[in-house]
Homo-oligomer: A and B are copies of this chain.
Amino acid sequence: MGGLVYGYITNFFTYETTKSVVVKSWSVGIINRIVQLLIIAYFVGWVFIHEKAYQVTDTGIESAVMTKVKGFGYHHNRVMDVADYVFPPQGAGVFCIMTKLIVTENQFQGKCAEYFVHLSTFSTFHLAFFLSLSLTTGVITGVCLKSSNETKGQCEIEGWCPAENDKVKVEPMLDVKNFTIFIKNSIRFPLFNVTRGNIPPTMTSHEIKNCVYHPKTNPFCPIFHLGDVLSYTGQDVTDLGGEIGINIEWKCNLDLNIEYCIPKYSFTRLDAPFAKNSISKGYNFRFAKYFKTENGTEFRTLHKVHAIRFDVMVTGKAGKFDTIPTLINLVAAFTSVGLGSVLCDVILLNFMKGAEQYKAKKFEEVNVFSVIALPGSLLSLKTAMKSSGDSGAISLSASDQAL
């Protein structure tokens, strides 16, 4: 009984290791080591050093953006300040700076001539067509106005009158190029609970107020000269407006000092993918200011605003050493080194002189096919074993069993 338990224990505390064949051959040995070297170099150089496969990464960056525009512009014989030309005023991450304003003053609800459509005759077909396109500035009543002078053949619309004429020529407010944009961006990587801001703590209040961003000389200044931003994107969008993306990229290796976790700014034209389509050039929107006459009738001033829209987009990736990816990649590396021997085996067993000898050494055979092929015929050879290329071995071992 005690012997049985002892037997189990001794069986448990055994150590099993593979039996290896060591081939002492220059050619195979050198090929083997070169293959191993290449695999190790790939893993060390590319997987671990370049791709940082030992890190766990966090791409779910949390970001808050605050913006503030400064500058004055002349437009329509007025001095425009921030309260006039920035939409919305709260300083969000997406904001618009007006470049051109088409104002239609004193609109009242009523019926009037449409500016857009100039036709000598007007049919139901046209009516349906214009309605479908929503090209008018109000609801078409179906009445055709035929005044003698310039407004020949216009449609009558119901809505805010007089109708907007947005074909009028207005000079853009070129002063926008002198405006500055201050961007405050604070981010957090929730996985690592790391918080960073886009203004280096070493910058003094005076430095921040007086600097202007430049990709080479002043890459951490949070104040951007609008003219510069436009030139970085290679666009002049002051006439019709446009959409500019200000990308703040945070690529942080948290294994290094946190001070190296810094923002990188880049500027793109967001409507670039639509360059091939000839539609919707520029960027514009309409808004109205509402007023009341003395007797309480509401009227409005309609503004068609051509603007540059800025989207501050924050992307980020942080990596930090972690045992799980490290271990998985290490195991992959070790196993890959082992897989190199597959190649060497193919060479050794097929293309080398003495391949048959290697085969004989590497493989031992246990042949039971005969049993299935000839069932019952040779009971004494029930499990005929053959250590291929060493036939005698088997006969002895068989007799050994027979004892």
Given A19-B361, A195-B272, A366-B21, A332 and B323 touching (CB < 8 A)? Answer: no
Q: Are A21 and B19 in contact (CB under 8 A)?
A: yes
List the number of copies, as a whole number: 3
Given A13-B33, A16-B21, A392 and B382 touching (CB < 8 A)? Answer: no
Q: Are A400 and B386 in contact (CB under 8 A)?
A: yes
Given A83-B302, A285-B89, A332 and B332 touching (CB < 8 A)? Answer: yes
Partner of A363, one of B20, B61, B353: B20
User: A184-216: which residues lie under 8 A (CB-CB) from chain B?
Assistant: 184, 186, 188, 190, 195-197, 199, 201, 203-205, 208-210
Q: Are B386 and A60 in contact (CB under 8 A)?
A: no
Residues from chain B with Cβ under 8 Å of A167 in the complex? none
Point out which of A22, A29, A274, A354 has the most chain B C-beta atoms below 10 A from its C-beta. A22
Please give me the residue from chain B that is nearest to A341 by CB atom.
Answer: B17
Q: Are A17 and B345 in contact (CB under 8 A)?
A: yes
Partner of A400, one of B22, B276, B279, B391: B391
> Does A327 belong to the interface (CB within 8 Å)?
yes
The segment out of A118-126, A231-239, A311-319 that lies at the interface is A311-319
Please give me the residue from chain B that is nearest to A24 by CB atom.
Answer: B367
> Does A384 belong to the interface (CB within 8 Å)?
yes
Q: Are B29 and A22 in contact (CB under 8 A)?
A: no
> Does A260 belong to the interface (CB within 8 Å)?
no
Bound form: Cα–Cα A152–B151 in Å:
57
> Does A253 belong to the interface (CB within 8 Å)?
no
Bound form: Cα–Cα A401–B384 in Å:
7
Residues from chain B with Cβ under 8 Å of A392 in the complex? 392-393, 396-401
Q: Are B22 and A14 in contact (CB under 8 A)?
A: yes
Q: Are A84 and B394 in contact (CB under 8 A)?
A: no
Residues from chain B with Cβ under 8 Å of A389 in the complex? 397, 400-401
Known: A25-B372, A197-B271, A393-B397; 20 extra A-B contacts, CB below 8 A, are: A14-B29, A22-B366, A24-B368, A46-B324, A64-B270, A72-B134, A72-B138, A79-B109, A83-B302, A87-B89, A91-B285, A188-B268, A195-B272, A197-B272, A385-B393, A387-B390, A390-B397, A390-B400, A391-B399, A392-B400
Closest 4 CB pairs of A and B: A197-B273, A392-B396, A13-B29, A393-B393
What are 5 A-B pairs with beta-carbon distances under 8 A?
A: A13-B30, A19-B21, A21-B364, A186-B274, A391-B401
